[in-house]
Amino acid sequence: MNLYGKAWTRRELEARVGRLEQIGGVRRLQWTEGAESGSEQAQVRTGAGLAYYVGLSKGLDISLAEFGGTPISWQAPNGDVHPAYYDAEGAEWLRTATGGLLMTCGLTQAGSPNVDVGQRQGLHGRAHHLPARHVAAHGRWTGDDYETIVSGVIEEATVAGDFLRLTRQIVSRLGDNRIVIRDTVENAGFRTSPHMMLYHFNFGFPLMDDDTRIESPHTTSVAPREAGTLTDGWERWQRPDASYTERVYYHDVKPGPDGRAEVRLFNPRFPYAGGAGTGPIRVRLSWNTDRLPRLVQWKMPAAGTHVLGIEPANCRVGGRADERRDGTLVFLEPGEQAKYELELEVSGAAEEMR
């Protein structure tokens, strides 16, 4: 593996440490205060700058993410609230949403609250607030490469109704500033079920600052959710504005030859921790478009809620009733599976200089 600017074998590294976690790896933690009390986490450190927390109690979503000790994600004021406080009604999801690098919206509903075939659907569905089962957080050697794996199962089920099972695996490698998310959603029930999936990635200060650019090379056109909203400026960031109201853009995406699309964030003056000064950073998010053909952008440089949402999805954000009305609602037949793969990669000053 490459680490600290040099290639190492497994034995060379193990000879230099008492435990590999001195360099990087994964460990399990539990918060103990306030509404976060009892919330379980897995902390992953790649040893090359990227570190993040996986919420074992909340959908195996990713909370705080840092690069070189400096945050790249946005954290909601709620913190890592225990899912026991979750209220599924209306927009109450906002009271317990963690923010963080990733919030999964689904599995049967994503987007605005609505009433669909007589059933009330809350904002963004239940996935983000479902504790995982069969959780594993471990590291393993494959030759001279060491990778960390956090995995588990999230189930959205109701008696005599829908039963969708999400099996998630989050993988990183020592010396590599990359997160790979592999999901399989299966209809474990015996009836056709609606399936909505939106990966709500949240990027915040200081990654998102005055000079940050948003690059979407596979976008062919951009349209606002609300008629009359200007599309100018979707690719730029700005200082906090307390009067700013959210803007949502829908991107038409044409994938590359490999069937994948990507969005890149570039900040030429990212402040590295520990007095290391500033330098360029690039964050690249890519995904397979066969199951995630849509791209939603949430631009919200307000005061406090100072966040950019990049959201690969199989739907828009009007909610399930709108998708059904428009004939775009995705369904899974009993036993059918949908597979997703997303990758987030961070390139720091050294890589960008090269």
- Convert the pLDDT of each residue in 59-109 to its tens digit: 999 999 999 999 999 999 999 999 999 999 999 999 999 999 999 999 999
Amino acid at the residue 125? G
Does 350 have pLDDT greater than 90? no
Task: Give the total number of structural domains in the chain.
Answer: 1
Domain with residue 121: its CATH number is 2.70.98.10
Does 216 have pLDDT greater than 70? yes
pLDDT of residue 354: 54
**Using an 8 Å Cβ cutoff, are 31 and 43 in contact?**
no
Lowest-pLDDT choice from 113-117, 169-173, 234-238, 274-278:
274-278
Would you call 209 helix, strand, or coil by DSSP? coil
Lowest-pLDDT choice from 1-5, 14-18, 283-287, 323-327:
1-5
What number is the average pLDDT over the span 253-257? 97
**Token pair recorded at residue 282:** 């690039």
Does 317 have pLDDT greater than 90? yes
Buried b (16+ CB within 10 A) or exposed e, 219-246: beebebbeeebeeeebeebeeeeeebee
**5-24 residue pLDDT tens:** 999 999 999 999 999 999 99
> In this structure, what DSSP letter does residue 236 have?
B
pLDDT of residue 310: 98
**Using an 8 Å Cβ cutoff, are 26 and 169 in contact?**
no
| Cis geometry, peptide bond prior to residue 206 (ω within 30 degrees of 0) | yes
Q: Which helix (H) or strand (E) holds 150?
A: strand 145-157
Does 342 have pLDDT greater than 90? yes
Q: Which helix (H) or strand (E) holds 323?
A: helix 320-326
Banded pLDDT at 233 (limits 50, 70, 90): very high
Distance, CA of 84 to CA of 86 (rounded, Å)? 6
The chain-wide mean pLDDT, for the chain, equals 96
**Using an 8 Å Cβ cutoff, are 222 and 248 in contact?**
no
pLDDT of residue 53: 98
pLDDT of residue 274: 78
What number is the average pLDDT over the span 233-261? 96
Task: Note the residue count of the chain.
Answer: 354
**19-49 residue pLDDT tens:** 999 999 999 999 999 999 999 999 999 999 9
> In terms of residue numbers, what domain contains 273?
2-353
β-sheet bridge partners, residue 69:
none
Percent of the chain whose predicted confidence (pLDDT) is above 90: 95
**47-59 residue pLDDT tens:** 999 999 999 999 9
Does 161 have pLDDT greater than 60? yes
Q: What are phi and psi for residue 196, nearest 5 degrees? A: -120, 135
